[in-house]
Structures are given as structure tokens and as C-alpha cells.
A and B are shown apart, each in its own frame.
Chain A
Amino acid sequence: MIFRTRLDLPLDRDGSVRFLPWIVALMVYLASLALAGTLVVRDGVARWDRGLSGTLTVELPAASAGNRDDGAIEQALKVLRTTPGVVRADAFDAQRTAELLEPWLGNDIDAADLPLPRLIDVHVEPSAGVDLAALGQRLAAAVPGAKLDDHRRWLDRVLRTAVAIEVVAGLVVALVGVAAVLAVIFATRTGLAVHHGIVEVLHLIGARDGYIARQFERHALRLGLKGGIAGLLLASLTLVGFAAAAAQVGAIDDAMRVLPALGAPAIEWALLLLLPVAAGLVAMLTARITVLRALKRLP
């Protein structure tokens, strides 16, 4: 119906509003990329959070050169394995420690020759509510210098970064929205000025302000939807290209997989489909308010 309604005002023929769908398309394109970025970051953080929850790392001080087997690992493992809620506790052997250091020290080192801290990988039942502070104290009592790391500090930093990215994306979307609203206001005012004569005739033969405003709002809705769909299509192509490029980078170098895949849940991606609808509605409402305010000046 929206696309077939007869308009008393020849708004379709206005050169002044032909640019509007292009502006809306650009706005929706930018907003889509900003929102997609937010989804990717949020999904990545959620994956890291899921991956790290329930895992702890115990760090024991390096053994002294003269006493490689000081029993510290055994004592720590004993504390851990007698703690309710701890599912598994495995000490890193020399080979695994060497693998961790390989990117920095190369593969011809003997970890046993170096004063390296010794690590224990601990898995706990997340729902068991293990008292980490108490566990840390018991470990420190059993092995002086032992430290318990639940990765929270690192994850908190990642979360703060993610929140900052979301705030920036939100600002981008808000700025884009403001710019779109200003463009619609300008186009609507131009339309009112160009068709002042017809608007006045409609007013004088008894058209209510809402009747005249509907002419503009339907036109704005149509242009907004048109531009919004074009912008979303362009953004989709960009995202598909980006995903393909990211996948290729991942295939070339496995270490680059720290970049999370573009794999947020489908329902969240479906939200992007609402952007053209939102663009159309914003354009419609803006046009309506602009026209109603202008008509108030008529007697």
C-alpha cells in the first residue's frame, strides 16, 4: 500500500530529495558495520569467557638450581586434589613448558636448565563455588610463593576493551542517526518550500495537518526503506568479504586465530535486518514532525 498510495503532492518528482536514499544508504552502511563490529567483539569476548571459566593456573616459584625436585609440585597438587570442586589438576611437564616458550626462545632449549616458574593447569567445577581466596592462601601456606591465577584480571582488561569498542560503535550509530535525521529535515523543508502552493490549497480546502503530513511521511518512509536496504546490502557484501579475508588469514597462520570468527548467533545478525526498517521509520517520523511543526505557522 505504501508504495502505491496516490500522493496529492508530486514529491516523487522532486530533484531535491533524490539524494536522500543515497544518504540513508551510506548511514545504514556505516551503522551496519559498527553494529557488526560490536557483535563480533561481543561474541569473541563471550567465547574467551566461556573458554576460560572453570580454569585456573597455579604458578610455583622456580626451583633453586641445587634442588630441582623440591616436592613443591607434589604439595601443591595435594592441596588442589583435596579441594572440593577441583575436577583436575595437571602439572606442566618440561616438554609442555618448552612448547610455551618456543615462540620466544626457539626450540633448542632445555626448560630444565632454566629457572622457570612451574605451572599447574587446574580445572574446577564452575558451579561448585570454589573459594579461590582460601585456596590461594592454602597453596601459599603449602608452597611459599605459590600464586593462583584465575585469568580474571586479563579477561577484565579484554572486557573493558570490548565495552570501549561497543561505546564507540554506539556513538557511530547515534551520529549516523543524527545525520540521517538532519538530512530528512532538510529534504522535507525543501519539499514544503517547493510545494508551498499545493500545501496551502490542501490546507484551505480543509485538509487536516495530519493529512498533509502523511503525504510527506509516506514518501520519506519509502525513500528511507529504499536507502536502508541498499546500505544493508552493501554492508553485507563488505562483511562477507571481511569474513573471507579473515578466514584466509586464519588458514595461513594459525596463531592469527586470536581474531574471533564472524560467528555471533544468527538471531543477533538478524537484528541488522532491522536497520533499514529503523531507517525508514526514523525518516517517516522526522518528516511527520517537521511538516506538523511547519503547518502550525499557517492560520
Chain B
Amino acid sequence: MRYGAGPEILRDITLRLEPGSFYFLTGSSGAGKSSLLKLMYLAERPSRGLISLFDRDIATTPRREMPALRRRIGVVFQDFRLIDHLSAFDNAALPLRVAGVAEHQIKEHVTELLSWVGLGNLLGAKPPTLSGGQQQRVAIARAVIRRPSLLLADEPTGNVDEELALRLMRLFEELNKLGTTLVIATHNRSLVDRFDHPHLHLANGELRTERARKRSEG
């Protein structure tokens, strides 16, 4: 994959994510972690090669069918990408609203989830008034609200303290137990080592799969 006429960011990557699997994606800054995630959440198309998601070849999938595929993917963006003029509640509710879910269901689910991530008293707060960690939790809530088949998170615990990071990781593990496939890009080596999940290591645009090293005690 390359951006415009620039150099190849990713090359010769062959990767298959089994349904229900859980991977950490590691690599130094600029290694291409975000680019790989962008390919997975369909924000970019590869300059060559094949991407198949949910047994569909993306290159041959009609454009009108792409929103249905995207709704099965939850994304936690590195910069959160919350909508500033919408409340925490409305930001987290967005995936449900675009899917046409009834408002009474939205209210119930979103309130419950935001309470779970510790934002129950900040439902009406706008993102600019929230701390980095609070914004990150809203972004995570938005990504998981539809219980996606595939959850892609770019540094989802980068702005929260250790305790909350572990709490959020447990949320991801719960989702994983319910069948969601997860890929979590992170720099946090200690976090990776706490959990018994394989990790994908990117270096020089190439991907290497490593087995888990330690078992989490938490």
C-alpha cells in the first residue's frame, strides 16, 4: 500500500484473522500500524493485493453494500475523532442512529455503556469539555456500541491510567468472548505482555506474527 505516488508503506503482507481471534498490533512509530488498520476498516484501498472481509472480496463488493460491512466494524481512532458539537451520549449513539435503531433502544444501550466506562454523569458533556481519557472512553463506547464483528483500535489505552487501561482491556476481552474479532494497535509493551494474545509486529512495512509471551493475572 502507498499514499499517492509516495513510497510503499506496507508490502507483501499476508494476514488472516480468524473469527473470534484477538491480536495486538505492535511496531514503532511510522511502521505502518495505522495504515494497516485503515485498510481493515475500509478507509483506504490497497494499491495492489486483495482484502477480504466477512468472506467478501472488497475489490468486487458494490459500493452500496459497503456501509453494511462497515457497520460490522468498530473503530477506535487514535485521535478519537469525536464530533465536537454533539454530546458524549450523541457521539456514542452515532453508529446506532446511522443504522436506524429506534431512539428508545439507543437511550437504553448508550446510557448503560457510558455508565460502564465511568461516564454516566457526563452524558450531556461535549467532547471539548472532556479530558483526553474521557474522550477516549467515549470513542471506545462509540466503537463497541453495536457489538461489532471486528473491532479495530488504534492506541485505545494511550490516554488513560493503568487501572482504567486494564478495565478497558477487560471490556475488549468480554467483547472477544462474545465473538468479536479484535486488533488492538499499541505501543504499550507492558500491556501486551499482560495478556495471552498473539501479536502482529510491523517493521519496515512487513508483518511478523509472534505468539503470546505471558499470561495476564488480572
State in angstroms the CA–CA spacing of A235 and B26 once bound together. 67
**Which listed residue (A8, A10, A197, A206) contacts B71, Cβ 8 A?**
A206
Give chain B interface residues in 81-128, CB to chain A under 8 Å: 81, 83-86, 90, 94-95, 97-99
Interface membership of chain B positions 27-58, coded 1 if the CB is closer than 8 angstroms to chain A and 0 otherwise: 00000000000000111110000000000000
Which chain B residues lie closer than 8 Å to A197 at the CB level?
Answer: 81
Which chain A residues lie closer than 8 Å to B42 at the CB level?
Answer: 204, 299
Which chain B residues lie closer than 8 Å to A207 at the CB level?
Answer: 67, 98
B126 CB to nearest chain A CB (Å) = 11
State in angstroms the CA–CA spacing of A159 and B108 once bound together. 69
State in angstroms the CA–CA spacing of A205 and B141 once bound together. 13
- Greatest chain B CB density within 10 A among A10, A197, A206 is at A206
Q: A251 an interface residue at 8 Å Cβ cutoff?
A: no
Q: B75 an interface residue at 8 Å Cβ cutoff?
A: yes
Contact flag A8-B94 (CB < 8 Å), given A201-B81, A204-B70, A299-B44 = yes
**Which listed residue (A8, A198, A205) contacts B70, Cβ 8 A?**
A205
State in angstroms the CA–CA spacing of A204 and B95 once bound together. 10
B86 touches A8 (CB 8 A): yes
- Greatest chain B CB density within 10 A among A10, A201, A211 is at A201
B49 CB to nearest chain A CB (Å) = 15
Nearest residue in B to A10 (C-beta to C-beta)? B85
B98 touches A202 (CB 8 A): yes
B196 CB to nearest chain A CB (Å) = 30
Q: A157 an interface residue at 8 Å Cβ cutoff?
A: no
**Which listed residue (A203, A206, A299) contacts B68, Cβ 8 A?**
A206
Interface membership of chain B positions 128-143, coded 1 if the CB is closer than 8 angstroms to chain A and 0 otherwise: 0000000000000010
Q: A4 an interface residue at 8 Å Cβ cutoff?
A: no
Which chain B residues lie closer than 8 Å to A201 at the CB level?
Answer: 77, 81, 83, 94
Q: A257 an interface residue at 8 Å Cβ cutoff?
A: no
B60 CB to nearest chain A CB (Å) = 14
Q: A13 an interface residue at 8 Å Cβ cutoff?
A: yes
State in angstroms the CA–CA spacing of A205 and B94 once bound together. 8
Contact flag A204-B41 (CB < 8 Å), given A8-B83, A13-B85 = yes
State in angstroms the CA–CA spacing of A197 and B44 once bound together. 15
A208 touches B85 (CB 8 A): no
* Total chain A interface residues with beta-carbon distance under 8 A: 18
Interface membership of chain A positions 197-241, coded 1 if the CB is closer than 8 angstroms to chain B and 0 otherwise: 110111111111001000000000000000000000000000000
State in angstroms the CA–CA spacing of A279 and B181 once bound together. 49
State in angstroms the CA–CA spacing of A13 and B63 once bound together. 31
State in angstroms the CA–CA spacing of A207 and B81 once bound together. 15
Nearest residue in B to A207 (C-beta to C-beta)? B98
Interface membership of chain B positions 144-156, coded 1 if the CB is closer than 8 angstroms to chain A and 0 otherwise: 0000000000000
B91 CB to nearest chain A CB (Å) = 9
Contact flag A204-B94 (CB < 8 Å), given A8-B83, A197-B81 = no
A252 CB to nearest chain B CB (Å) = 60
State in angstroms the CA–CA spacing of A90 and B70 once bound together. 88
Which chain B residues lie closer than 8 Å to A13 at the CB level?
Answer: 85
**Which listed residue (A198, A202, A204, A206) contacts B43, Cβ 8 A?**
A204
State in angstroms the CA–CA spacing of A211 and B100 once bound together. 10
Which chain B residues lie closer than 8 Å to A299 at the CB level?
Answer: 42-45, 66
State in angstroms the CA–CA spacing of A197 and B83 once bound together. 9
Nearest residue in B to A295 (C-beta to C-beta)? B63
Contact flag A208-B67 (CB < 8 Å), given A8-B94, A202-B94, A299-B42 = yes
Nearest residue in B to A208 (C-beta to C-beta)? B67
- Greatest chain B CB density within 10 A among A198, A203, A205, A206 is at A205
Which chain A residues lie closer than 8 Å to B67 at the CB level?
Answer: 206-208
Nearest residue in B to A197 (C-beta to C-beta)? B81
A205 touches B85 (CB 8 A): no
A291 CB to nearest chain B CB (Å) = 15
B95 touches A206 (CB 8 A): yes
Which chain A residues lie closer than 8 Å to B77 at the CB level?
Answer: 201
State in angstroms the CA–CA spacing of A203 and B98 once bound together. 9
Q: List 18 A-B contacts (CB under 8 A).
A: A8-B90, A8-B94, A8-B97, A10-B84, A200-B43, A201-B77, A201-B94, A204-B42, A204-B43, A204-B70, A205-B98, A205-B142, A206-B71, A208-B67, A296-B63, A299-B42, A299-B44, A299-B66
Query: Which 5 pairs across A and B sit closest by C-beta, in order of nearness?
Result: A206-B71, A207-B98, A206-B70, A10-B85, A206-B67
Q: Residues of A with Cβ closer than 8 Å to B?
A: 6, 8, 10, 13, 197-198, 200-208, 211, 296, 299
